[in-house]
Chains A and B, each alone.
Chain A
Amino acid sequence: MKVTILYFGQLKEQAGTAREVIDSKTNTVSEVYQQLKERHGLSLSFDNLRAARNETFCEGTDPVRADDVIAFMPPMSGG
């Protein structure tokens, strides 16, 4: 299934892109991240980031559906 991935901050630099569409066979948000962590050599473990599914914060165990937009976000540093 096609899933759109968004990266921010240091993850964007490491992935070399802010956005990509991937073909994923995995079932959950954390499994998608693991797949991308290995592909891009991302430094953060899933426990050290926040994820959002379709513009809502989500858990790693949340299911991924076709055409979802999944965002992976390093620790925030606004203010």
Chain B
Amino acid sequence: MIRFSLSEDSIDPVKLRQELPRTDAGGYCSFEGWTRDNNQGKTVTELTYEAYVPLALKQGESIIEEALESFAILDASACHRTGVLSPGDLAVWIGVCAPHRAAAFDACRYLIDQIKESVPIWKFEAYSDGTGEWLAADLCGCAANHKERAEA
């Protein structure tokens, strides 16, 4: 069964969600990663996601298999965009269903963190001043935000 996919076209979360529900699940949790129109004080006009496709698919499947073994969940799937996106577009979608909500929330968080850290996908941001750059995970501000929340 394929649980991790890459898409060159817009992600349809309704369609992806329809593949998950089970009668033995009591809860469903989803995460959507959206593209921001700003970063580090610059206005983002366009984003490009590049993937090392065969390895990204393999690693994505591996992460979901780990989540299925580590959390009390019934199923999970994820889809990540590639290609050129505009601010506000859906870049990544994750869905998890479980007998109880706590495991669904935890697994969903685990999956997005692992996808960002270890699935070979890179983001290039183009800015309104004509410049652009490839981002590293630690430049997106997420790590600092996670730390603040963990310490709160």
**Taking beta carbons and an 8 Å cutoff, which residues of A are in contact with B?**
6, 8-10, 13, 50, 52, 55-57, 71, 73-79
Q: Which of B9-17, B65-73, B99-107, B137-145 contacts A (4 or more CB under 8 A)?
A: B137-145
In contact, A52 and B123 (Cβ under 8 angstroms) = no
Known: A8-B122, A78-B121, A79-B112. A73 touches B52 (CB 8 A): yes
| 23 contacts across the A-B interface (CB closer than 8 A) | A8-B50, A8-B122, A10-B133, A10-B134, A52-B55, A71-B52, A71-B55, A73-B52, A73-B120, A74-B136, A76-B116, A76-B118, A76-B119, A76-B137, A77-B122, A77-B123, A77-B136, A77-B137, A78-B115, A78-B116, A79-B112, A79-B116, A79-B121
User: In the complex where A8-B120, A9-B122 touch, is A78 in contact with B55 (Cβ < 8 A)?
Assistant: no
B135 nearest CB across to chain A (Å): 4
A78 contact from B122, B133, B139, Cβ within 8 A: B122
CA distance A41 to B49 in the complex (A): 24
User: Within 8 Å CB of A75, what residues of B?
Assistant: 136-138
B92 neighbours in A (Cβ, 8 Å): 78-79
Minimum CB–CB distance from A9 to chain B (whole Å) comes to: 4
Q: Which residues of B sit under 8 angstroms from A8, Cβ to Cβ?
A: 50, 52, 120, 122
B19 within 8 A of A: no
Q: Which of B123, B134, B137 has the most CB of A within 10 A?
A: B134
User: Nearest Cβ in chain B — how far from A70, in angstroms?
Assistant: 12
With contact pairs A13-B134, A55-B58 given, residues A78 and B119 touching in the complex (Cβ less than 8 Å): yes
- B117 on interface, CB distance cutoff 8 Å: yes
Select one of B52, B54, B55, B140 contacting A77, CB under 8 A: B140
Known pairs A8-B122, A9-B122, A55-B54; A79 contacts B115 (CB<8 A): yes
Q: Which residue of A lies closest to B112 (CB)?
A: A79
Q: Which of A50, A71, A75, A78 has the most CB of B within 10 A?
A: A78
Prevailing SS type, chain A contact patch: mixed
